Amino acid sequence: MTQLKLPDLESFRFFEAAARLSSYTRAAEELCVTQAAVSQQIRSLENRLGVKLFQRKGRTMVLSEQGHLILPEVQDGLKLLQLAVRKLDHYKQPDVLSVTMLPSFAARWLVPRLWRFNHRYPDVELRLNPTHTQVDMLNSDLDLAIRLGVDDYPALSCESLMDEYAYAAASPQIAKQIKKPEDVLKFMLIHGWVDSGMNWESWFRKTGVSTRGRRIKKQVINEGSITIEMLLSGHGIAVVRNTLARGLVESGQLVPLLGVTISSHFQYFMIHRKEQHANTNLTAFKHWLREEVAEFTAKHPMEDLFTIAQ
């Protein structure tokens, strides 16, 4: 039987990206090439296969019937190739474990505890990738993502790590001036991540403070670690996540205000590809994380938070 001569693999990568993103422009951005390069690769693939994979609709290119026909198998084939390369990488570097998380979580919760993991597992080389970008774990060479959000990863292994909650906090110098909820409006209010529900809007609702018609001094910072530094410097008040602020509350550097906590529908999750269940280093790291979380939550239940600050 004559062996079928396949088109160039690179052209399939370009086709898959353009089809998945429904855009030549976005495919070019993802692949770090020009839009013209994407168009050329797809045109070459179409010429080789003898069919039109995309058709123009108005100003956009959409998949043709033939494009829809081959897309699932193309995606499966590329995923199998990625899996093969990842297996080879793991074979060459069996003790490397790559983990991504929010920079604030890394700086304020993970890194201060990491020496215990390194002491227990000295042969494991951890590679941390703190980023706000939500990495595509199905197509990444990262082993684990620690994410704050909701459980919405059907194609991945997703395990709950811990709940999160927040409270308004300030330096001791500012905190002693806060006697009632309305007093916070006298100071700069630092705003951050809104989607989590752990924000000033939720705090105002819970305390019954109306901001209608009031001029509020406001600064927006979408990085928790920088927010913490602002508070430590005495520059305002912020609603902060417990994982970031707890140690500073214990040391007296920050003070939670008025006994008000805000729960969130967001949790921390451990997320990885399903085939990673066989990765012994990943299993060890997840087990260690659960131990650290158990100690963190047992030692510091929510009820005693404001007792610590007194």
Provide the pLDDT for residue 301.
55
Provide the pLDDT for residue 285.
97
Chosen CATH of 9-91 out of 1.10.10.10, 3.40.50.1820, 3.40.50.620, 1.10.10.60:
1.10.10.10
Provide the pLDDT for residue 124.
94
Distance CA 26, CA 23 (A): 5
What confidence tens digit (pLDDT) does each residue in 2-12 have? Answer: 566 778 888 99
Sign of CA dihedral 130, 134, 139, 145: positive
Per cent of the chain over pLDDT 70 is 91
Provide the pLDDT for residue 275.
84
Provide the pLDDT for residue 308.
53
C-alpha separations of 117 from 35, 88, 102, 123 in Å: 45, 26, 19, 10
Instruction: Enumerate the domain spans of the chain.
Output: 9-91, 94-310
Contact at 8 Å (CB) between 18 and 54? Answer: yes
Provide the pLDDT for residue 186.
94
Q: Which residues of the chain are modeled with pLDDT < 70?
A: 1-4, 83, 86-94, 194, 299-310
Is 0.85 topped by the overall pTM?
A: no
Contact at 8 Å (CB) between 12 and 77? Answer: yes
Distance CA 95, CA 121 (A): 10
Q: How many CA atoms lie within 13 A of 29 on its CB side?
A: 5
Chosen CATH of 94-310 out of 3.40.50.300, 3.40.50.10300, 3.40.190.290, 3.30.1510.10:
3.40.190.290
Task: Give the 3-state secondary structure of residue 292.
Answer: helix
